[in-house]
Amino acid sequence: MSTCEKKEKGVGVLRNPWLNRGLAFSEQQRDALGLRGLLPAAVSTRDQQVERWKALIAQQPTPLMKYITLDTARMIDEALYFQLVMENVEEYMPLIYTPTVGEACQKFGHIYRAHRGLYICAEDRGHVRDIVANVPNQKVDIIVVTDGQRILGLGDLGACGMGIPIGKLALYTACAGVNPQHTLPVTLDVGTNNEEFLKDPLYIGQRHKRVDDETYYALIEEFVAAVRERWPNVLIQFEDFQNTHAFKLLDIWRDRVPCFNDDIQGTASVVVTGFYSAMRVKKEKLSDQKILFLGAGSAATGIAHLIADAMVEEGTSREEALSKIALFDSKGLVTSRRTDKLADNKLPFAHDYEVCTSFADAVRHLKPTAIVGVSAQPKTFSEEVISLMAQYNKQPIIFALSNPTSKAECTAEEAYKFSNGTALFASGSPFDPVEFEGKTFVPRQGNNSYVFPAIGMGCIYTHAKSVPNGVFLAAAKSLADQVSEEDLGKGALYPPLSEIRELSVAIAAAVAEYCFEHGLAQIERPADLKAAVREAMWQPSDPKFAAGE
């Protein structure tokens, strides 16, 4: 049986979001499908339906209520939902994903209304294959899986973290045309250490502390084996895992199956794009920069290593590239002089610096050309810090990337104001344009959604055998090439998200080209790769959609 039963009739059609078209069913369709009398008499166009839902969403008083209303549209009619999102991507992306999805996850147990995705519990060990068999999708191209332990900057949300895979996969479709019937959000429910959730009668997950590592890794081994057995070419994206698990899972699986970690590699790709754009403004090389990170987790070190890769491409040695990058964690500047034991991911960046326990002192000591915030510690890029950056640099690079907005290291207004309008700024959450001394700055969000959907599409299209780091550098270059001089003149280091579908065509084609050039593709290269990728991208009007193909 396909995802949709082609012979479904009557009320079954209206209850199936893959088949339902509501008032858009024509008179002939209503007769053929047994819908006569089950719908009001009026026949609406899809555009009219979109306008009806847009008005309903606009009436909602809070972002969370808008999120719930938008999701309700999806529960009723998937194609309509994606038409809504694709036509209003800049407006609705902050609802589907950051920052609103953070609140949605925190309250997921209280707003849970309908099934979506797959939940696998630690207690399911030995039976994961049977659980995977329950998934109705005969074809799955991509899985986004989380264990809910490190959701955005909000910490351990357990099974309520399912909002993240659901949101990410919606963006795979809206931004890059991955068929939504071929996607699967998965939560590995291995418990939670969140006492508030464990005491909440509406919590939707297992009510116990997180399991030990032996049980944890055995469950993931069984899960990966089961999904790869059923869908041999499936791409797996690991999402919002705690740092130690995130690096270990990537090390275990990256050479065995096509997989990646968006927090480590996707974030890195979009940040490197921002640096490429900043270099065009500064008219400098990336290898000339000195970069200080506030935060030393998976995002920081993932970004740092891809920056080093980019510097090496410019002709710098790996050792020299690493020497230009420094980390600042909860205990201070990461240096070889520290007496505490450093995590393995920090060791390549533990240089012989003085011990600094305040970030401002670290800025004074290193005089970096760029600071990158991935700490989830709000307001840590203070007036003192940004003023120092402006003192040391004609055009300081200030990337406040933590999200949701409440966790941002500084706002766009603060970055421009405290730097006297000289900052090259990007953020992890959206900020409105800023007026400063007669100039309007248009900061753009360094959002992973610029790249991860297209990276996924490129890998899905080619049936990539693996997803090496070079894929993420190829994506960063492609996105940076699409930033216009007009964008840069307004202070925007990224192109407008309203152009995301065309941006994704170019990025997916660049990723596919990398896969062909490096022997990762399992299909023949078409003569016109960009056209072939565009043709493969799903549209809400695709007649194959309702057929479940």
> How far is it, in rounded angstroms, from Cα 431 to Cα 439?
16
The one catalytic residue among 66, 67, 92, 168: 168
- Choose one of 59, 93, 127: the last residue of a domain: 93
CATH of the domain at 214: 3.40.50.10380
Say how far apart CA 146 and CA 154 lie, in whole Å: 14
How many angstroms separate the first and last alpha carbons of the chain?
Answer: 11
Specify the pLDDT at position 536.
Answer: 96
Are residue 110 and residue 81 in the same domain, yes or no? Answer: no
In CATH, what number is assigned to the domain containing residue 72? 1.20.1370.30
Which residues, 6 or more positions from 113, have their beta carbon under 8 angstroms from its beta carbon?
71, 72, 75
Check: CB of residue 492 under 8 Å from CB of residue 443. yes
Whether residue 253 sits in one domain with residue 342: no
- Looking at the fold, whether 173 and 278 belong to one and the same domain comes out as no
Q: What is the pLDDT of residue 543?
A: 59
pLDDT tens-digit series, residues 202-224? 999 999 999 999 999 999 999 99
Active site residue 97: yes
Both 83 and 107 in one domain: the answer is: no
Specify whether 292 is located in the same domain as 437.
yes
What's the sign of the alpha-carbon dihedral 541, 513, 279, 153? positive
Residues 302 and 243 in one domain: no
Catalytic residue (choose from 92, 97, 172, 276): 97
Low-confidence ranges of the chain (pLDDT < 70): 1-6, 543-549
User: 44 and 139 in one domain?
Assistant: no
pLDDT at 3: 43
Looking at 34, 62, 93, which one is the last position of a domain? 93
445's tokens: 């969000």
Contacts of 202 (CB under 8 A, 6+ apart): 109, 110, 112
Specify if 170 maps to a domain.
Answer: yes
- Domain shared by 458 and 355, yes or no: yes
Is residue 4, in this structure, part of any structural domain at all? no
Distances (CA, A) of 177 to 20, 223, 418: 20, 26, 41
> Which single residue is written with the structure tokens 């332990």?
149
With respect to residue 2, please indicate whether it lies within any of the assigned structural domains: no
Confidence at residue 447, expressed as pLDDT on a 0 to 100 scale: 87
Same-domain status, 198 and 298: no
Q: Specify whether 369 is located in the same domain as 450.
A: yes
Listed residues 35, 63, 93: the one ending a domain: 93
Tell me if 3 is assigned to some domain. Answer: no
Q: What is the pLDDT of residue 403?
A: 81
For residues 273 and 144, membership in a common domain is answered with no
76 assigned to some structural domain = yes
Sheet with 183-189, strands from edge to edge, namely 118-121, 183-189, 142-146, 235-238, 259-261
Question: In whole angstroms, what is the distance from residue 426 CA to residue 275 CA?
Answer: 10
DSSP 241-274: --HHHHHHHHHHHTTTSSEEEIIIIIHHHHHHHH
Q: Residues 460, 462, 466, 467: is their CA dihedral positive or negative?
A: negative
- Residues 89 and 99 reside in one and the same domain: no
Parent domain of 21? 11-93
Which DSSP helix (H) or strand (E) runs through 225? helix 213-230
pLDDT at 376: 87
For residues 508-544, b (16+ Cβ closer than 10 Å) or e, as one string?
Answer: bbbbbbbbbeeebbeeeeeeebeeebbebbbbbeeee
Q: How many distinct structural domains can be found in the chain?
A: 3
Q: Percentage of the chain surpassing pLDDT 70?
A: 98
Would you put residue 421 in left (φ > 0), alpha (ψ -120 to 50) or beta?
A: left
Tell me the C-alpha to C-alpha distance, in Å, between residue 357 and each of 9, 338, 369, 410.
67, 11, 20, 20
pLDDT of residue 541: 84
- CATH number of the domain within which 482 lies: 3.40.50.720
Does residue 6 lie in a domain region?
Answer: no
Evaluate whether residue 5 is within a structural domain: no
Are 341 and 326 a contacting pair, CB within 8 Å?
no
What's the count of helices (H) and strands (E) in the chain, helices before strands? 24, 13
The set of residues, in sequence order, having a beta carbon less than 8 Å from that of 253 and lying 6+ positions away, is 224, 236, 259
